[in-house]
């Protein structure tokens, strides 16, 4: 399974960094899903939930954010957020 590297950062530092099979973020025009090999993209984020799906299934990481931006290129996603609430987890697929 193809994976991507993810860095989630806020103004005061890194929140989470790791490998994922998919990232879903609240883009300005609607929810956006990113998989390995996705075209390069730079988008503004609106308030909503970021979800990171681990490569082997298991717990989905979730953060509620107040906005920011997402940059993706060469299987590297960088998500910069204005404000974040600590993550909660749920089973993959829910």
What CATH number does the domain containing 10 carry? 2.60.15.10
Q: Taking residues 3-13, what's their average pLDDT?
A: 94
Q: What is the structure's pLDDT at 74?
A: 97
Domain assignment of residue 11, yes or no: yes
Instruction: Using a cut of 0.75, tell me whether the model's pTM lies above it.
Output: yes
Q: Measure the CA–CA gap between 21 and 17, rounded to whole angstroms.
A: 13
Domain assignment of residue 94, yes or no: no
Q: What is the structure's pLDDT at 90?
A: 57
Residue 37 near residue 19, CB atoms below 8 Å: no
Whether residue 93 is predicted with pLDDT greater than 60 in this model: the reply is no
Whether residue 48 is predicted with pLDDT greater than 80 in this model: the reply is yes
- What is the number of structural domains in the chain? 1
E strands, 29-75, in order: 30-35, 41-45, 48-53, 59-65, 68-73
Question: Which range of residues forms the domain containing residue 52?
Answer: 4-89
């Amino acid at each position: 399974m193809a994976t991507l590297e993810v860095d989630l950062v806020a103004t005061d530092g890194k929140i989470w960094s790791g490998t994922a099979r998919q990232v879903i973020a609240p883009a300005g025009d609607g929810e956006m899903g990113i998989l390995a090999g996705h075209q390069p993209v730079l988008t503004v984020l609106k308030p909503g939930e970021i979800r990171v799906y681990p490569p082997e299934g298991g717990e989905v990481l979730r953060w509620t954010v107040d906005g920011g931006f997402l940059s993706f290129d060469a299987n590297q996603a960088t998500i910069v957020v204005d404000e974040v609430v600590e993550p909660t987890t749920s089973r993959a697929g829910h």
